[in-house]
Chain A
Amino acid sequence: MSSATPIEKSVHASEWQGSLKIVDVARARNLAWLHVAEARIRNMLKWWTSIAAFSLGNPVLYLFSVGIGIGALVDANGGSTQLGGVNYLTFLAPALLASAAIQSFQEEMSFPIMEGFEWDKSFFAMNSTPINGRDIVNGLVASSFFKTAITVGIYEAVLLGFGAIDLNVALPMFLSALFAGVAFGSVMMAVTSYIKNDDGFFAIIGRFVIAPMIMFSGTYYPLESMPFYLQWVGWISPLWHGTDLGRVISYGSPQQGWIVISHWIYLATWLVVGLTLAYRQVSKRLAA
């Protein structure tokens, strides 16, 4: 009832009321994942210049070197007949989007998780509040999704500028790339949540999982043009599923409907399995 002069306000603030009065548990629980995401995004903002430079620099470099350089070679030699009738840049664009999404999630699901569990133990700090393991997983996925959406968004804007994709398929392509990213990211998170110390683990993941995945997932040439005994790498790779999904959306390869559905199902399986394992392991590790 009092008029809110600045002095009265400060007196009010220092009056100890107790958590039973000031904490709304239901609200804290409902928005728990969002509060984790908020904390994580605040942390990311400390690095926003390097994130922005990377998000913009990477696509420009790739498009000039691979897209335009190799593209000129491929297109001049009649490559488009093997690429579903499109030029190389159009063929390449969905793969670049999907791999950008996957790499962005990979970054977010590696060191930040080590940091939370081992280095500054911030997950334990969160877990001493109404937040539990599941909320931490959801919040990290949400914040990674947010960051990846910006990265992929920038990438796509550049691709639009180069004429590599059509504006009318931009949104579905954006979503399919993000979906591939989050599917991979949730599994990556589950794996990382088991790691106790880095020991070069993430360098190994980068060199022996991510790099081969990009090479063998039909990124730079159609999966079918690889020897049959190597094609399995693409079939299990979420990147290939994300890439092929993007290609179907972008320039409608002849296969269509059921292929789109099977890609979504495959990626959704990764997402569900990854999240389930991550929920379990993160909660277990917090309670130890």
Chain B
Amino acid sequence: MIIARGLTKTYGEFTAVDGIDFEVRKGEAFGLLGPNGAGKSTTMKMIASVSKRTGGELTILGLDPNKRGPEIRAHLGVVPQQDNLDRELKVHENLYVYGRFFGLGRKFLKAKVEELLEFAQLTEKRNAKAEELSGGMKRRLTIARGLVNEPEILMLDEPTTGLDPQARHILWDRLFRLKEQGVTLVITTHYMDEAEQLCDRLIVMDKGKIMAEGSPADLIKRYASKEVLEVRFGSSKNVEIAEQISHLGERLEVLPDRILVYSENGEADLQEILKLGLEPVTSLVRRSSLEDVFLRLTGRTLVE
């Protein structure tokens, strides 16, 4: 569906995307994971056939977006980071008008709008102005709007940023259903749990480059241990104590507020620490996540 080779975007002196390669296959949920400013959104805009690349190759549905933007966009569903609904129009009008932009007929849209209202759980709000909706509702409406043309590729830029946990789970559920219908998803996020939940395969980006590529499970296996033991000794003592326990686990990571011990058995390592007579303020054993992968690859946390 999407093939990028040496894809580059520069703004004057600044290189936002620095020669990246990736492919997205039909029906897959593909993620771009990275901190703010990693080049995810710029990459998305190029795939969305809105922003032109300045170097490399990019093919979407077999077409070149620099030359045939409108034609490609006919087959995309775009959910931008910031909702750009028409605030003055009612909920159902937002869907209808957007469908008209794809040249869809009135009769088709009449049925489609009802179906999407139901999908987004907004049937009861159909006559509310878009500006009267809550954050979660706006987000769902924006996603529903992106589905009006039954897109081959649905692109979601930070779909759940700013939503409460319950709203996030509703959204994830909707996205799962779409995946089941065979829609190709391209998702950016800086939430590792979201990437783990939604993505079959992802690239980890930092400073415009791809740091790693694979399925969430693959990446964790490759770049992190099975478990992580997190211990806190108080910010002033972490560095000092890290030296004393450096023999534990496969690897240590010292963060300002805590020490991460990467190991196969976190519980056993915690016992070792206690045996040394050290008493952490708090301790936690968990399985490794993409957050750890990112930390390993870049030396930085995702959300700073």
Q: Is the CB of A22 within 8 A of B51?
A: no
Interface size on A, residues (CB 8 A): 42
* Chain B, residue nearest A28 (CB): B103
Contact of B267 with A by CB under 8 A: no
Is B226 in the interface zone, CB < 8 Å from A? no
**B170 — which chain A residues lie within 8 A by C-beta?**
none
Known contacts A120-B84, A120-B85, A288-B51: A19-B74 contact under CB 8 Å:
yes
Determine whether the beta carbon of A22 is less than 8 Å from that of B88: no
Give the residue name and chain of the B residue nearest to A44 (CB).
B88
A131 to B70 alpha-carbon distance, docked (Å)? 6
B108: chain A residues at CB < 8 Å are: 22
Minimum CB–CB distance from B12 to chain A (whole Å) comes to: 12
Closest residue of chain B to A29, judged by CB?
B70
Q: A127 vs B98: C-alpha distance in the bound complex, in angstroms?
A: 11
Establish whether residues A130 and B73, one from each chain, have CB atoms under 8 Å apart when the complex forms: yes
A36 to B100, CA, bound (A): 9
Given A14-B115, A20-B75, decide whether A31 and B103 contact each other with a Cβ distance below 8 A. Answer: yes
* B101-A35 in contact (CB<8A): yes
Interface string of A7-20 (1 = CB under 8 A from B): 00110011011111
Q: Given that A27-B103, A128-B73 are contacting pairs, would A42 and B150 also be in contact in the complex, using a CB cutoff of 8 Å?
A: no
Closest B residue, CB atoms, query A287: B51
What is the 8 Å Cβ interface bit string for chain B, positions 74-86, against chain A (1 contact, 0 not)? 1110101010111
For A287, list chain B residues within 8 Å (CB). Answer: 50-52
- The CA of A128 and the CA of B97, in the complex, are separated in Å by 13
Contact assessment for B74 and A28 in the assembled complex, using a CB-CB cutoff below 8 Å:
yes
> A199 on the interface (CB 8 Å rule)?
no
Q: Give the dominant DSSP class at A's interface.
A: helix
Contact-residue size bin, chain B (C-beta under 8 Å from the other chain): 35 or more
B18 contacts the other chain (CB 8 A): no
CB within 8 Å for A19 and B75 given contacts A38-B100, A287-B50:
yes
Chain B residues positioned under 8 Å from A17 (CB to CB): 150
Measured between beta carbons, the chain B residues less than 8 angstroms from A264 are none
Does A127 contact B50, Cβ atoms closer than 8 Å? Answer: yes
Q: Which of A16, A24, A129 has the most CB of B within 10 A?
A: A129
The answer for the CA separation of A20 and B75 in the assembled complex, in Å, is 7
Tell me whether B150 and A126 are in contact (CB under 8 A). Answer: no
| A286 sits at the interface (CB 8 A) | yes
Given the complex, which residues of B lie within 8 Å of A9, measured CB to CB? 111
Q: How far is the CA of A124 from the CA of B215 in the complex (A)?
A: 32
10 contacts between A and B (CB under 8 A): A19-B150, A39-B101, A120-B84, A121-B80, A121-B82, A129-B102, A130-B70, A130-B103, A287-B50, A288-B51
Chain B residues at the A interface, C-beta cutoff of 8 Å: 48, 50-52, 69-71, 73-76, 78, 80, 82, 84-89, 93, 97-98, 100-104, 108, 111-112, 114-115, 145, 149-152, 181-183
* Shortest 7 CB-CB contacts between residues of A and residues of B: A28-B103, A129-B101, A13-B111, A121-B84, A128-B78, A130-B70, A27-B103
